[in-house]
Structure 1
Amino acid sequence: MRLLFEKEAIRVRHLQSDDKQLLVKWLSTPSVLEYYEGRDNPFDLEKVNKDFYSLDNGVSKFLVLYEGINIGYIQYYQVNDKTSSINDYSEDETNFGIDQFIGETEYWNKGIGTLLVSSMVEYLVEQKQAERVVMDPQVTNVRALKCYEKCGFKKVRILPKREFHEGEFRDCWLMEYKEPKKMNMV
């Protein structure tokens, strides 16, 4: 198992081929799909293979374990014209985007998402020299918005009709975590 990082009870490891059935399970659960892909868009093995395993699109993909149990998924990518349609940022900066979900719903509302997101931000800042980390959650995903704000993300602007979800285009927030500039001491 190739571990990306471990912090407290969270371990984040590279996605492996034998994780496919977990992704099928999670991404066919209506409560998970409510904010990730849509309840009208459940995944089967073919769709998991296509969306998570057949693309080399600059996205780094990981499974999330909590106390040794597989509970979710997280990915990151450097924001550029190939990986993101968000064009607010200069390619002269080191900016990353992240997406994640906890697929085991009994682990919701326990602070695990906050630990996961803040740990990934810390990893990206320390190991990848990220100057900024961005996300684009739907404006109606109140639980996620609160989690991200706890992790230091700020709402930048509304992305109107950003995501086609359950038969309609939905607005999303562009949210960012910006690494504070370190002052040089003389």
Structure 2
Amino acid sequence: MMLFERGSLKVRTLKENDKYLLAKWLSDPLVLEFYEGRDNPFTVQKVMDKFFPLEADEVKCIIEFEHKAIGYIQFYQLDDETKNVYGYGDEITYGTDQFIGEVDHWNKGIGTLLVTSMVQFLLDHKKAYRVVMDPQVRNERAIRCYEKCGFKKVKLLPKRELHEGIYQDCWLIEYGV
């Protein structure tokens, strides 16, 4: 099912056949440097275990650009426990995670187009009050992209994510209305 389209960018829900694309992308060391870890490559079976069956609280999607699947994005409404950790109230807050798996599509503005389009979709169709992400502090390229899209650093989350055997600090960043 198509969620939205903006120019040459399309975001559609995940299909079972996408498991082969995800396994390809999630076994590329360049992609794994910031997403999942180079010590954690994915097989098709591992993709099936992690991404399927689809869960009601996460919407998992494939990113297409110029009719070619190039990446993955998911979004979810934050639960009360996570909102408490972040210091948020009852407002509708969504989180997203994404990566462009086709590395030849990096540094071409597609990430900026994707993030701004997803934020607009969440504001318009899910009535989000804010959208948040928690990239690793060392992922400077992604953070620059998110800041171009209007996200602001809110809080440092020390030792938030286990990545390649080391707990990494992350930034809580938000886009608020």
TM-score (norm 2): 0.96
- Larger Cα Rg: Structure 1 or Structure 2? 1
**Structure 1 unaligned regions, length at least 5:** 180-186
Cα RMSD between the aligned structures? 1.4
SS of 2:112's equivalent in the other structure is: helix
Q: In 1, are the aligned partners of 2:54 and 2:60 still within 8 Å (CA)?
A: no
Q: In 2, are the aligned partners of 1:58 and 1:83 still within 8 Å (CA)?
A: no
- Shift in Å at residue 146 of structure 1? 0.3
- Shift in Å at residue 157 of structure 1? 1.0
Q: In 1, are the aligned partners of 2:156 and 2:169 still within 8 Å (CA)?
A: yes
Aligned to 2:22: 23
**What is the total number of aligned residue pairs between the two structures?**
177
Aligned to 2:131: 133
Aligned to 1:120: 118
Aligned to 1:182: none
Matches within 5 A, 1:51-66: 51-54=50-53, 56=55, 58-66=57-65
Aligned to 1:109: 107
Aligned to 1:71: 70
- Shift in Å at residue 46 of structure 1? 1.5
Aligned to 2:48: 49
Looking at structure 2, the residues matched to 138 and 117 of structure 1 have their Cα atoms a distance apart, in angstroms, of: 17
TM-score (norm 1): 0.91
Query: Cα distance 1:109–1:94, how it changes in 2: closer, same or farther (>3 A)?
Result: same
Amino acid across the alignment from 2:68: I
- Shift in Å at residue 81 of structure 1? 3.9
Percent sequence identity over aligned pairs: 58
Looking at structure 2, the residues matched to 84 and 50 of structure 1 have their Cα atoms a distance apart, in angstroms, of: 27
Looking at structure 2, the residues matched to 57 and 77 of structure 1 have their Cα atoms a distance apart, in angstroms, of: 9
Aligned to 1:168: 166
Looking at structure 1, the residues matched to 156 and 76 of structure 2 have their Cα atoms a distance apart, in angstroms, of: 21
Query: Cα distance 1:76–1:162, how it changes in 2: closer, same or farther (>3 A)?
Result: same
Looking at structure 1, the residues matched to 48 and 55 of structure 2 have their Cα atoms a distance apart, in angstroms, of: 12
Aligned to 1:183: none
